[in-house]
Structure 1
Amino acid sequence: MTGILISMRPRQWTKNLLLLAGIVFTARFGEAEAWRTVGFAILSFCFLSSAGYLFNDILDRGSDALHPEKRHRPVAAGTLKPTAAASAAILLAAFAVAFAWMSHTYALYSVAAYSANQLLYMLVARSVAILDVFVISFGFLIRAVAGAAVLEERISVWLLLCTLLLALFLGFSKRRHEFRTAGESRGALRGYTLPLLDQLIGISASAAVIAYSLYAIQSETGVAHPLLAYTIPLPMFGVFRYLQIVFRNNGGGSPDAELVRDPWIWGTLILWMALSVFAMSQGTDVVST
């Protein structure tokens, strides 16, 4: 049971809080029904992502056993049998569907889309450099869309672009850490070089900051809630701080761990969320996310 819980990676469930963007950027944080709907969707994605981690560990157990850090994973270490991991993954996927059904029909569609994206990664993309990070980033896009869709709200292209670029930034940062610690130990890493990863990180980081700035100022949401523009320095600082962690401390291998470990990162995130909620509560215009 311990091996299953470790393989579920509950610490990474924080990624699914992205679904809350639908509540925040539609200013519906005062509606209990909205919280219930999004809450069930978040639970669905938590169980579904854990099922994906288990299946991925089964497929990667050979290469993980050679990795200096991943060799400690229960399946790679041999403390959790692949058959037991597969059974747990199927059960978790069933729970994910159940919670999606309790949320909204669009949650079921989102779960199906996320599952297809996970299959694409496990069967094809994980061995192809650059495509691997894009497919992982699509998973974040699906989360963002799901958070708005279950509320029957329209999501703006600006917010999708911000999500994609930030996910690419975190993904390439993670690949850089893996490249420096494990070298070309598995398929996708063989297609990278350190200078290439540094370029990709710089491009995606810059684009993410610019995209959020334009979203906060020029989107329908930004125009209707002008105070949102004053949140721009916070994600900018957060990105710069993460760049420092990646290049100065050789970090970035686990974005969820960096979020918990670094007080500047989580402090900035909490302050940004608080100010965003305040900014969205000012103004009465009907807007899309």
Structure 2
Amino acid sequence: MNIFLKKTKNALALFRIKQWSKNTFIFLPLFFGRKLTFLPELINTFLAFLAFSFVASSIYCLNDLLDVEDDKLHPKKCKRPIANGLISENLARFLIFLLFFASGSILFFANLPIQVACIILLYFVMNIAYCLKLKQIAIVDVIIISIGFVLRLFVGASAGNVKLSHWIVIMTFLLALFLAFAKRRDDFQIFIRSGVKARSNIARYNSEYINTVLSVIIAIVLVSYIMYTVSPEVITAFGSDYIYITSIFVVLGLLRYLQVTIVDEKSGSPTDILFNDRFIQLSILGWILTFVYFLYL
């Protein structure tokens, strides 16, 4: 029994369940479309979330399988289940198939629009290309990550039958780009300290370049978000002139993340920051609760 529990724990670590928090972007179209309380749409979106999460976990498994030799040399990634020998490569291959099969089963049996399956398949194929080649190309690698977040939005919009605003697509892409570059900064810092390359394209990045890019992106995000909150279409849709108040939480959250990235140099895992940084958690909670008030109360 203990051996089974240990293997299950190792498998879950390989699946990176914490990373499923990224897939909550799938619920954003439903949330902003005022359909979060509509049970059929909520169920469909949840099923789409599960299907997408299983596929995402299969990609994590594939990535760890392909990078196992490099991960063994990395100060952090060496603790991953395949790299440290807790899960064999053959078992990892079986788990990739199992996860993909589980996702396909949900999509086949659930009453979801065909677009959901097509978008998830596109995400899967795109990330296979990322794992095999594209992650080795500087800038292209972060663009692929950002597109992945946008695809999450389209999955949620299709599952919940919600029309996406161009604003949410643009800002999601930019936010994901910001997080991806912050992660590359952490990779570069590890390379400087230990000489270990987290990825082969790390030589095409440096602190000055990444800091400049982060500054530019955060400025664009903040300006875009403020323009969004004061745009006539948003004021009309939400029936309030006070949506701009939510900008406070966006500014606080981004500035804190920039501090964690540049001052603390701990931007290697956006998910770990999300789960451990109280300042960012409170910023996100304030942002969500403010929108709940405007949309549902």
Q: Indicate the TM-score class for this superposition, using the shorter chain for normalisation.
A: over 0.9
Between stretches 90-99 and 234-243, larger displacement belongs to 90-99
Query: What is the identity, as a one-letter code, of the residue corresponding to 1:31?
Result: F
1:109 aligns with 2:115: no
Deviation, 1:219, is 6.3
Please give the root-mean-square deviation of Cα atoms over the aligned residues, in Å.
1.5
> Residue 73 of structure 1 is aligned with which of 48, 71, 80?
80
Query: What is the identity, as a one-letter code, of the residue corresponding to 2:179?
Result: L
Residue 85 of structure 1: aligned partner: 92
1:168 aligns with 2:173: no
TM-score (norm 2): 0.91
Residue 19 of structure 2: aligned partner: 12
Between stretches 197-206 and 8-17, larger displacement belongs to 197-206
Q: What percentage of residue pairs aligned between the two structures are identical?
A: 27
- In structure 1, stretches of 5+ residues that fail to align are 283-289
Residue 35 of structure 2: aligned partner: 28
Partner Cα separation in structure 1 for residue 28 and residue 16 of structure 2:
22
Residue 260 of structure 1: aligned partner: 275
Between stretches 217-226 and 120-129, larger displacement belongs to 217-226
Query: What is the identity, as a one-letter code, of the residue corresponding to 2:173?
Result: L
Residue 118 of structure 1: aligned partner: 127
Deviation, 1:56, is 0.3
1:197 aligns with 2:210: yes
Aligned residues of 1:68 and 1:182 also touching (Cα < 8 A): no
Aligned residues of 1:132 and 1:188 also touching (Cα < 8 A): no
Query: What is the identity, as a one-letter code, of the residue corresponding to 1:64?
Result: D
Q: Secondary structure at the match of 2:138?
A: coil
Residue 148 of structure 1: aligned partner: 157
Residue 3 of structure 2: aligned partner: none
Alpha-carbon displacement from aligned partner over 1:183-225 (angstroms, at most 9, x marks no partner): 4613121211111111111111111122222222216334322
Alpha-carbon displacement from aligned partner over 1:20-58 (angstroms, at most 9, x marks no partner): 111111111221111101110111111111110000001
Deviation, 1:94, is 1.1
TM-score (norm 1): 0.93
- In structure 2, stretches of 5+ residues that fail to align are 1-6
Residue 4 of structure 2: aligned partner: none
Deviation, 1:244, is 0.9
User: Which segments of structure 1 move beyond 4 Å, counting only runs of 4 or more?
Assistant: none
